[in-house]
Amino acid sequence: MLKLKRMPKHIGIIPDGNRRWAVAKGLQKEDGYEYGIEPGKMLFEEVRKLGIPEVSIYIFTQENTFRPRKQIAAFQNAFLKFLNWIKNKDVSILAVGDASSPFFPEELKVFTVPQENREQKMKLNFLINYSWKWDLNMALVNSGNKRLRKQDILKNIGSKDVSRVDLLIRWGERRRLSGFLPVQSAYADIYIVKEMWPDFKPCQLHEALKWYEVQDVTLGG
Amino acid sequence: MLKLKRMPKHIGIIPDGNRRWAVAKGLQKEDGYEYGIEPGKMLFEEVRKLGIPEVSIYIFTQENTFRPRKQIAAFQNAFLKFLNWIKNKDVSILAVGDASSPFFPEELKVFTVPQENREQKMKLNFLINYSWKWDLNMALVNSGNKRLRKQDILKNIGSKDVSRVDLLIRWGERRRLSGFLPVQSAYADIYIVKEMWPDFKPCQLHEALKWYEVQDVTLGG
């Protein structure tokens, strides 16, 4: 069992590389998502064992919904399989994204508001039909007609119930945020895993946590 | 001369590590900033030679102004020396940050609005007494009393005149944004230089550009 002196309270996960992995295996691009389910389960079990209290996972974005229909169906199916598995695991699920769109799965609408007992459970945030533009623009909608000048925009964004991300781990080698929770990730330490998401192994998470342990936290100070 | 097929239109620069560099040399922390001026000049000359049309540089943040007074004076002095050198270089300077604070240098107030001929010159954006919270909250101030619901928040943020960042280069080994232009950096490719900023060499910039050349641009798609 991994023992660390300093653990993140909230990790962000960008499980990238499913399509590239599939192509490298001679499969169709959309076949990759199915192979991302088992890694998701392994990650969850590992994070729970380690006692990390909050995890945010980039499931799909509004930009992703401009991809070919076959791919959209494939990543939505894969996610719903994962959801069905995880929703009985005594976690507090929060779905963050534009729920007014047909791309937002019906099954998830019940999770768009924080559950009452959220603080007592492991928090699992799914970014679903999410986009950073939607997230920020929701501040205008949520602020409504109230006087805004003295308000804090951060209390009104779409992802206002998601806490600051300490460590962001991205699979699939690319070194960018791709719009992942820009507000919460302002100070996040970013760790890149070279392997594609379907090749997830717990040791990759461990390496990220060991790296995070020796970073200094300054929050910009 | 470096020849590349694909060049960024806008690079972000986080010149971190001045204090750590100074401590490693047996100097006082605040002495490091002075050694960051010459690297700034070298970087500018190199970027101009390469023809990159826009550069944003993280000069100091609102969080930085909670540091010891000696350090604040040192980074402000170093920056003003750099500013005096560069303002005659036929560039279009834009100062982005909270100009209502005493930490915002008087000399810069003239640069808080885009210059008329901005499109004809190399654009140089200095983040000065900047913070991502200020940047986003300015949307509330700028939107004023207008009806907001259908507006795009991005057109009203504090840094609204700064374009999307293609490549973000950070010196000093840390792998995080530290609040650098969260909106413009949503899709930026992030390149980390191990060396501290006072040890800047043009080859580090070249390596970053060569790495950027082989990244694919998807803008989240």
Report pLDDT for B97. Answer: 98
Report pLDDT for B2. Answer: 82
Alpha carbon of B198 to those of A11, B13, B52, B128, B169: distances in Å? Answer: 32, 13, 22, 19, 14
User: Considering only CB atoms, which chain B residues are within 8 Å of A218?
Assistant: 178
Per the CB < 8 Å rule, is A151 touching B133? no
Phi, then psi, of A108 in degrees rounded to 5 = -100, -10
Interface test with A, best of B63, B71, B136 (most A CBs within 10 A): B136
Q: A58 lies in a domain?
A: yes
What average pLDDT does range A171-183 have in this prediction?
A: 97
- Residue B52 Cα, gap to closest chain A Cα (Å): 20
The one-letter amino acid at B84: N
Q: Which residues pair with A127 in a beta bridge?
A: A58, A96
Touching check for B5 and chain A: CB below 8 Å?
A: no
Q: How do residues B109-164 score in pLDDT, each as one tens digit?
A: 999 999 988 989 999 999 999 999 999 999 887 776 555 555 788 888 999 999 99
Q: A219 lies in a domain?
A: no
Q: A33 lies in a domain?
A: yes
For B53, the domain range is 10-201
Q: Which of residues 112-141 of B touch A (CB under 8 A)?
A: 131-133, 136-137, 139-141
Question: Which residue of chain B comes nearest to A135, CA vs CA?
Answer: B153
Report pLDDT for B146. Answer: 57
The DSSP string of A160-187 is: TTS---SEEEEESS--S-TTS-TTTTTT
Report pLDDT for B217. Answer: 77
Per the CB < 8 Å rule, is B148 touching A153? no
Burial pattern A72-108, b for ≥16 Cβ within 10 A else e, equals bebbbebbeebbeebeeeebbbbbbbbbeeebbbeeb
- CB neighbours of B77 closer than 8 A, spacing ≥ 6? B33, B34
SS3 (DSSP) at B92:
strand
Report pLDDT for B126. Answer: 98
Burial pattern A9-45, b for ≥16 Cβ within 10 A else e, equals ebbbbbbbbbbbbbeeeeeebbbbbbbbbebbeebbe
Helix H or strand E segment including B26: none
Q: B210 lies in a domain?
A: no
Question: Which residue of chain B comes nearest to A156, CA vs CA?
Answer: B137
User: Considering only CB atoms, which chain A residues are within 8 Å of B175?
Assistant: 189-192
Per the structure, the count of domains in chain A is 1
Touching check for A174 and chain B: CB below 8 Å?
A: yes
For B136, the closest of A153, A185, A191 (CB atoms) is A153
Q: B220 lies in a domain?
A: no
Per the CB < 8 Å rule, is A186 touching B178? yes
For residue A150, name the pLDDT band (cuts at 50, 70, 90). low
- Residue A116 Cα, gap to closest chain B Cα (Å): 29
Touching check for A148 and chain B: CB below 8 Å?
A: yes
Q: B106 lies in a domain?
A: yes
Report pLDDT for B1. Answer: 72
Percentage of chain A lying above the pLDDT 90 cut: 85
Per the CB < 8 Å rule, is B177 touching A179? no
Q: B61 lies in a domain?
A: yes
Does the structure show a pLDDT above 80 at A219?
A: no
Does the structure show a pLDDT above 60 at A167?
A: yes
Q: A5 lies in a domain?
A: no
Does the structure show a pLDDT above 70 at A147?
A: no
Per the CB < 8 Å rule, is B179 touching A220? yes
Least confident of A117-131, A146-160, A199-213, B94-108: A146-160
Q: How do residues A95-130 score in pLDDT, each as one tens digit?
A: 999 999 999 999 999 999 999 889 899 999 999 999
CATH number of the domain where residue B32 is located: 3.40.1180.10
What does each of the 221 residues of chain B score in pLDDT, given as a tens digit?
A: 788 889 999 999 999 999 999 999 999 999 999 999 999 999 999 999 999 999 999 999 999 999 999 999 999 999 999 999 999 999 999 999 999 999 999 999 999 999 988 989 999 999 999 999 999 999 887 776 555 555 788 888 999 999 999 999 999 999 999 999 999 999 999 999 999 999 999 999 999 999 999 998 777 77
Q: How many CB atoms lie within 10 A of CB B63?
A: 18
